[in-house]
Structure 1
């Protein structure tokens, strides 16, 4: 694909950025309500938890097909079709009047989600100039980060005024707009001669195993914040703990483009090592926090930790594979991320039951130490990957 004057903000990148933002906005609006709606319909707490886990498992299972498909067929068409499936699932939520119906449409959404994020990252990678690749991925990831910050608030606010069903339909409308933006995208895709074949190498890229393992460690650790911080803050008597995520998202809007530029200039290892130190420090601050100010300090530090490291490592996944295998590279990144999202809260939950919240925050620093060690051990290999990418 030709780059427009080697700019990040070329027409194709703008289109996929907007499409990804609209899709994520609808997704975050809806996801903030699904568990509450299941509870409203009479689902037991265990069933609500099962619903969340089943959704994640479905998305992982369908990644068996998403990687090979994205590398074999038109990425633009796959993204539009998967968005349509997502729209159907959200409309389904809007008309669901029983828990079994809700579960059925949740599984349908999980199948679509196996394709959407992976495909968006692959398309975005295709639009970026080599010398600004890290910066571009960092900017692209801002759409998801911003939507994670505002989407749940919008969804929770809307349902109070218009109810669950209409809010689900508005979420579907956002994805409709994203599908339209994707369909109108001027994307010059070369005819792919690679046949669709399901194999280990087409589902996941072995050469991207190290960055995927790093994503597993980091996302698993960070997702414990999403899962337990609100409960912990409430137990501590801290009001407005939700501002943690607002500050985190706001600072991350600044940190990610900066870190992307530094990564392009100095290499991933020199940037991610201090980011890991910041991430570990944020967990220690949470463990000693007694008031909202300390939690907000932790949010600020975390934005320069996980908020900076995650897109840089995701970029390394895409740099590890040739252009024609970016579907597998993207798939590998999200497999690591999804497995971490599933495992992190589970492990943290056991630690909380055994040792309490404060010690849990400190114990969850261990995965960051492991990630730090992996970066040092594989420093040479990572530098070679980046050098080969610049020279291709």
Structure 2
């Protein structure tokens, strides 16, 4: 086997592989609970409204802990922080398994959401530490493949485990996997914490101002994408399409195919060559979704959506990470995910309001969902405009990649 070229240091180092596996396992468990927790809440007697509350409270606590995340990444070694975060998820899974009432289930969701609020920024920051600067965009795209695979596999495996062993055993198995992941996290290498003299809790201790614009772009992109995840099954059912879950499989497949190539292109030619076409394609996917009426149409729309959001999302994350010095990437990652969390919280509400308003004016359910998806082109367009405007005032990238975005 030939050694890597000096100008192309490897991405798949032992440290990166370990972190990739840990992130995949945890996000896999997260997507598994996406289908198990609502069903468990319903089995415990929760109304439809309360099922929604149980699901949504997760995002509330994930956002609520963001102010503490950036500050914590400065004063706690990242591998210890990751292990502690996974430990909290382990406790949440045990609580899921022991839940015999809706309040206990809500408590588990609150804890799980808080842990996930720490997890994404910490793992993204650690991934950037493990990657060579000259291949940052490709590496971040590769790292995010684990989440794409989890999206496709987690819900199906969760339903299979429920049918095979029931709720309690399924969650306890998940807790066991979290224990193994926590031990693996402790064994990861990570730079020592800065331990600065001034560790007061200030705005600059949890927000990287340089990453606010990428976070704003992510707010619009992630918010539009959350509309796909939240309503696509209901929309498919309204269209009379069976096996609508295959939409996510098509999405995951094209994520796996496109992200490594897009990342390599971003490193070689600059992020603009990825982000701008990606946003345009993502906007086109909403036109397709709004007009499909068959499973084949939904699969095509899923593929196009993956090519759009799937390639520009890690590129925008790379933009955020490379906007700051390496020792502040935890702050930049946290700032990025504040935008993501806000998008996930706000845009589904906006989408639901659009559907309800259209139905109340006499539109059919199908037509209401179609109008909603067409409307989601607007936030994508706003994100694109922000990115184009930012190119005039952006400082040089803090990376060794040949070309600035």
Scaled by the length of structure 1, the TM-score of the pair is: 0.95
User: Are 1:259 and 2:262 counterparts?
Assistant: yes
Determine if contact 1:19/1:177 at 8 Å carries over to the other structure. Answer: no
Q: Secondary structure at the match of 2:144?
A: helix
Structure 2 residue aligned with 1:389? 399
State how far apart, in whole Å, the 1-side matches of 2:265 and 2:379 are: 24
Query: CA contact under 8 A between 1:18 and 1:181: conserved in structure 2?
Result: no
Q: After the TM superposition, which of the residue ranges 170-179 and 124-133 deviates more from structure 2?
A: 170-179
Matches of 1:235 and 1:90, distance apart in 2: 34
Q: Whole-Å Cα distance in 2 between the matches of residues 326 and 94 of structure 1?
A: 36
Runs of 4 or more off by more than 4 Å in structure 1? none
**Secondary structure of 2:195's match?**
coil
Distance 2:190 2:56 in 1: 38
Residue equivalent to 1:362: 374
- Is 1:30–1:171's contact at 8 Å kept on the other side of the alignment? no
* Larger helix fraction of residues: 1
Of 51, 63, 68 in structure 2, the residue corresponding to residue 65 of structure 1 is: 68
Paired residue for 2:191? 189
- Return the alpha-carbon distance in structure 1 between the equivalents of residues 5 and 177 of structure 2: 28
Q: In structure 1, what is the Cα distance between the partners aligned to 2:211 and 2:28?
A: 29
> CA, structure 1 residues 202+191, in 2 after alignment: closer, same or farther (shift >3 Å)?
closer
Distance 1:284 1:154 in 2: 31
Cα distance between partner residues in 2 of 1:196 and 1:124: 24
Give the superposition deviation at 1:35: 1.3
Q: How many residues get paired?
A: 387
- Which deviations, in whole Å up to 9, do the C-alpha atoms of 1:315-337 show, x marking residues without a partner? 11111111121111110111101
Q: 1-side partners of 2:111 and 2:5: how far apart?
A: 38
- Cα distance per residue 1:106-134 (max 9 Å; x no partner): 11112211211111111111111110000
Residue 53 of structure 1 and its aligned partner are, at CA, apart by 2.4
Which of 312, 315, 327 is the aligned partner of 1:324? 327
Within 5 Å, give how 1:29-68 maps onto structure 2.
29-68=32-71
Residue of structure 2 equivalent to 1:160: 163
Q: Which residue of 2 aligns with 1:377?
A: 389
What is the SS of the residue equivalent to 2:65? helix
Unaligned 5+ segments in structure 2 are 359-367
Distance in 1 of aligned mates of 2:62 and 2:277: 32
TM-score by length of structure 2 reads 0.92
RMSD: 1.7
Work out the CA distance in 2 between the residues paired with 1:239 and 1:170: 31
Q: Unpaired runs of 5+ in structure 1?
A: none
Change (3 A) 1:95 1:191: closer
Shift of the 381–8 alpha-carbon distance from structure 1 to 2, 3 Å rule, reads: farther
Kept after mapping to 1: 8 A contact 2:74/2:330: yes
Query: How far off its partner does 1:79 sit?
Result: 0.6
Contact 1:287–1:358 (CA<8 Å) still a contact in 2? yes
Give the aligned partner of residue 102 of structure 2.
99
